[in-house]
Amino acid sequence: MTTTPLLQLDGLTRRFGGLTAVNDVTLSFGEGEIVGLIGSNGAGKTTLVNLVTGHLKPSAGRVTFAGRDITGSPPYRLARLGLLRTFQVVQPFAQLPARDNVAAAALFSGAAPDMASARDAAEAALLRLGIAHVADKLPPHLTLAERKRLELAKSLAAKPKMLFLDEVNAGLNSAEIDAVLDMIRSIAAEGVTIVVIEHLMKVVRGLCTRLVVLHQGALLADGPTDAVARDPAVIDAYLGARGAAMLEAAR
């Protein structure tokens, strides 16, 4: 029996003038999967995520989420369906305390019907991510690790079905990364599909059961982490001998 994927991309393509940043990508993602989206700088990872989450419109192709054609839908509509993302550079509202940043995400996504329940959802999300103590602080006064957790709290309060995490571990130390990985695993354990865009092999190896590799906008490989890590085409185009050794060492 085949199950319907949560997210299906068919021939997804985005051109910028003469450059094809995402080239005819066909892929699907199931419920509760943790998938790593990898590839060298400029491979098209961010563009692909932007096409799915409504921040860019495709030049061609189709995006289907939970059986519904969502091609070209704006981010706020997709957030209401449970399709959410974080950004590589975290972008909280600097003048709002952490709690209200999370509450705003809960309201914006429609996960909370009013400010009182949005604040309750925010408290719960901050607690779950271990940063309840920063609820009253303004984002500029948070550490990088706290700001990254704040991003995750915003996504969580929006009740995601699928979450794209854009380098949520960049700049964190090893212990901070381990803590974030545990949080991501616990979110996935509730059935949320998670796609992580990553350069850190420790994260890819420790978290993802499946890897999708983009190269010059096209799909180069898609399969179980171990198999993809040993794929000569992937080693050649992306990992290099050093990257493959690092991925092996991170086991």
Ligand X SMILES: Nc1ncnc2c1ncn2[C@@H]1O[C@H](COP(=O)(O)OP(=O)(O)OP(=O)(O)O)[C@@H](O)[C@H]1O
The stretch near ligand X (CB under 6 A) out of 41-49, 114-122, 157-165, 202-210 is 41-49
Work out whether 45 is an interface residue with ligand X (CB under 6 A). Answer: yes
Provide, rounded to whole angstroms, the least separation between the CB of residue 59 and ligand X: 12
C-beta closer to ligand X: residue 43 or 163:
43
43-51, 120-128, 182-190, 202-210 -> range binding ligand X (CB under 6 A):
43-51
Among 8, 46, 71, 109, contact with ligand X (rule: CB under 6 A): 46
Residue 13: what are its φ and ψ, rounded to 5°? -140, 140
CB of 72 to ligand X, least distance (A): 16
Cβ atoms of residues 45 and 37 within 8 Å: yes
- Contact in structure between 35 and 228 (CB atoms under 8 Å): no
In angstroms, the CA 234 to CA 26 distance is 18
Amino acid at 54: G
54 scored as a contact of ligand X (CB under 6 A): no
CA distance 89 to 9: 25
Residue closer to ligand X by CB (options 8, 46) is: 46
Q: Does 21 contact ligand X by CB under 6 A?
A: yes
> DSSP letter at 133?
G
Contact 139, 92 (CB under 8 A): yes
Binding site for ligand X (CB under 6 A): 16, 19, 21, 39, 41-47
